[in-house]
Amino acid sequence: MRKIELFGATAMALVALLPGAALAQNAPADAAVTQGAAPAQGTGAKGGTGSDASSTGYGADIVVTAQRQAQTLQEVPIAVSAFSAAALEAQQIDNASDLQLTLPNVTFSKGNFSGASFTIRGIGDLCVGISCDAATAIHLNGSPLLATRIFETEYFDLERVEVLRGPQGTLFGRSASSGVVNFISAKPRTDKFAASGEAEYGNFDSIRAKAMINVPLGETLAVRVAGFYLNRNGYTLNTFNDTRIDGRDMYSVRGSIRWEPSVDTTVDVLVSYFKEDDDRLRIQKQLCQTDPTGVLGCLNNRRDGGRTNTNSTFTGTLGSREFLSIAFGSPALGNALGLGSLYGQDGYAGNPILNDPREVFTAFNPTYETDELTVQGRLEHNFGPIKAQLTGFYHETTVDSSQDYNLGVSNRSLIQPTLNTLAAAAAGAVPGLPAAYFQPIARALIPNGPQGDLCTSLPEKSGLGVYGGFSRCGPIPNAYDRSVQRTRDWSAEAIVSSDFDGLFNFLLGGIYVDAKVRDGDYYVNAFAIDYVAGILGSVGALGAGRAPEFSATPFFRSNTDLFRLKSYGIFGEAYFDFTDTLKLTLGARYNNDKKFVRSRSTLASFAVPYTQTGSAFDAPRAALYDADPVIAGIQPYAVRNKTFDEITGRAVLDFKITDDNLLYASYSRGYKSGGFNPPVQVPGLTVPDAFQPEIINAFEIGSKNTFADGKLTLNLTGFYYKYKGLQLSRIVARTSINDNIDANIWGVELESVVRPGPGWVVNFGASYLNTEVSSDAPFINQRDVSGGNPNTVIIKDIGNGSNCVVRANTGGAATAQAFVAGVNAALGLRGPAAFPVDSNTGAATGAFGLCSVLTGASAGTAGAISVLEGIGVSLKGNELPQAPVVKFSAGVQKTFDFANGMSLVPRADLTYTGESFGNIFNGRINRIQGYEQVNAQIQLNGMDERWFVRGFIQNVFDNNATTGLYLTDQSSGLFTNIFTLEPRRYGIAAGFKF
């Protein structure tokens, strides 16, 4: 009801105001619009220089560089939205999450690890892995940013932000297949001294400060320094210890120098540094319809506030009595040393059910550390009608993040009997178990006895973990992950453009990018993994007559030792002005991307003596570890290298009906290079070695219009995309696998600004998007590997935590169930058990088992039984993820000017993002409901705008809506990570400017 009322009120206001624009054609120019309440995107506010942005009246138009030249927004035959510095302030756009709300067909969401993605017109970063390229190119002053932390920082001292929708490869950077987001920093000014400052206090004890100082050093040289600081308490309540987590503590400083040695030459140098060190939650919340059988972990019907059944995880299966009984060939030994039973109580028994997305229950405090250094230098010179630009760019960033892997607290009482047995075995009190083989385990895991603290491996490079003395200890069994990455990249770009008076002009450019990622690692650590690594290693060594050993690494580690990208592009455009009103643009680009990756993935992969020092990989038996099952022989790393290249281009025909009305039609071809799938640990798993490039053929028509002497702007766009090779990620067996599919996309967009009378500005935007998978190749749905086939039994492989499916080719479901029951009986495992009636799986039953054993047994059924990794289903007709069908935004502000030179500017904004899906398989469990957000503020400006005081509120109705989701893999229990809007924020700010 609230949503309908909000839309109704906004629509009534717009209907009432629109006629005023037509009636006001001969009205005098409006009083100036102040910095703090400038028009919204595309409203016509001049860019200015960040905090120095001056006010404008009707008819002015923001200047953008969407085509690598200064043009007014309404002149550019591209679907582009632009926010001036003043518009960013007015619409309370502080970060990437805010930026997407008012943009048509644009969404933003964090990723499952430490990345994030802008999705434009249904095209986003669905590829997961270090070798993946971004679909939306992020730029700073026109230079591409790779692996940027700009998604985490706050915006400050920007001249403007430009968002270009559609492929932009002939003009910008690399891989701009969906579009470009270009952040333009405010430049130093040589004509005046200037300074500004702002301080803000809000709820969650939020303190935010921004400042800028601009100092001319003579007539040709100026320096500008700006920065921000943010510190606030967490948005999320940890009900385990009644503390708040997911807070922020960050700052950034940017220094710029501009030198103008002549009227034709400009030199700009920029250095920026960003730092964050806090308890940010990389994954805010996990949802699960708990599976009581443990075969799936989470069921395929709803996203409830429960947790995965720990018996479904690889720690639950590998540490189970049943698996150890099979592995040791001794039920007695397995029962004595197993941490629990596959058929026993869930390890999260007793944890509260928390449906509130801002409440979690965890004994692990998250950590988040990141920093970013950016250096940019640019030389521009005009040789008469020829302009040359040379840009050098250096960029490095690190990120290191840890948090509770399952956001739950393990029930220690369930494993206490096993801890007592371990202590007894270490003391020589268990007949048949030599103490020497269990003493190293007990010393490492329970150094103060079975009732004392439990120690878990640190996520560290040596691979020795807790058995090398690298541990953290506490009363509760730990389970946490760590995502870490160090990136360095640099680029050089040269552009030459013309400004002739005749028919023909051109732009020609080239760019070279060199990027390197070191230690791109993802770890999963858990007490249960350490325990199993010790027990399996010791018992194995005992049986083989070797000295005591453990299995390394005693944690999951996906290690990208080195990723290297060397890329170059040659691009250009030719412009033919046939008449003053008709123009043709032809562009082309050649892209060449050479990629190299060296990686491996380990989890209890080889035996290491407890006495090993230095590195686990120096142990004698580490030489038997094969990191690359694709290539014959023993490979210490999986090494891949490949070159991807492509020619793309665009053609645009634009026609000026009048100076205020533009029509255009365009075709463009976008490209994003392919890459490599990470190595897997599960033998026999069918995984493509690499994934292919994406190609997009985009057709667009548009109209840009200004009416009533600038009092109304109305821009319309329609587009159709043929998408080939969309890169799509799924998590399988603890690794990210990327596939390729085809899709068709079409939609329409509207952006409008009305200035109906003195002091009034109303902006309106809307979009419709239709996305549809066009290829019908089958894909396995990890949530339901049965593919909807009722003649199947879903199996949880207790050797690795993955799922497979047993299918009866004759005889129906009863045949499949009887087959599984017979094979399992010989292993000491139970037969199939029924899933709950609301599980939404094709298979009626599931069972724990060993897929390899079942596969071997199926050979004797004369084709009656098949054991498969899964049964694929066609995705044809499904919608793409993060592609809302509709979006709507509206904002209104009014400037009240007082006789003493002061002004008061209230503003309100409403945005609505329609329903979408968070996963390519669509369905009820992947549905993201539509959501709205309302922001409001009121600002009092002093005389000559020298100072201001502002009160603000964001997310007025405290909407907790989900904005994105990500499915984890089968060995982690198929829980769903979700990302939400920020909660309601309110506060007061004051600032000055001179």
Beta strand segments in 543-689, E: 549-552, 556-577, 582-602, 606-609, 638-658, 661-672, 675-676
Cβ-contact 346, 311 below 8 angstroms: yes
Q: φ, ψ for residue 930 (rounded to 5)? A: -65, 150
Cβ-contact 284, 236 below 8 angstroms: yes
Alpha-carbon distances of 644 from 39, 562, 566, 725, rounded to whole Å:
43, 19, 11, 14
C-alpha–C-alpha distance, residues 585 and 66, integer Å = 14
β-strands 471-474, 479-498: how paired?
Answer: unpaired
Amino acid identity, position 603:
L
What is the model's pLDDT at position 31? 30
Spans of the chain, pLDDT less than 50: 1-60
C-alpha–C-alpha distance, residues 462 and 615, integer Å = 4
Q: φ, ψ for residue 55 (rounded to 5)? A: -85, 160
Which residue in the block uniquely carries the two structure tokens 């399988």?
732
CA atoms within 13 A on the CB side of 315: 26
294: Cβ–Cβ under 8 A, 6 or more apart, which residues?
309, 310, 311, 312, 316, 342, 343, 346, 796, 848
What is the model's pLDDT at position 112? 63
C-alpha–C-alpha distance, residues 789 and 219, integer Å = 77
The secondary structure of 136-151 as a DSSP string is EEEEETTEE-SS--TT
Cβ-contact 636, 650 below 8 angstroms: no
Query: End-to-end alpha-carbon separation of the chain, Å?
Result: 46
C-alpha–C-alpha distance, residues 696 and 484, integer Å = 32
Cβ-contact 444, 555 below 8 angstroms: no
C-alpha–C-alpha distance, residues 173 and 569, integer Å = 8
With CA atoms as reference, report the closest residue to 292 among 846, 967, 783, 818: 846
Tokens representing 196 are: 């500004």
Tens of pLDDT, residues 962-972: 998 988 889 99
Tens of pLDDT, residues 226-248: 999 999 999 999 999 999 999 99
Q: Could you tell me the pTM of the whole model? A: 0.89
With CA atoms as reference, report the closest residue to 939 among 909, 892, 896: 896
- Given CA atoms 99, 101, 105, 110 in this order, what sign does their dihedral have? positive
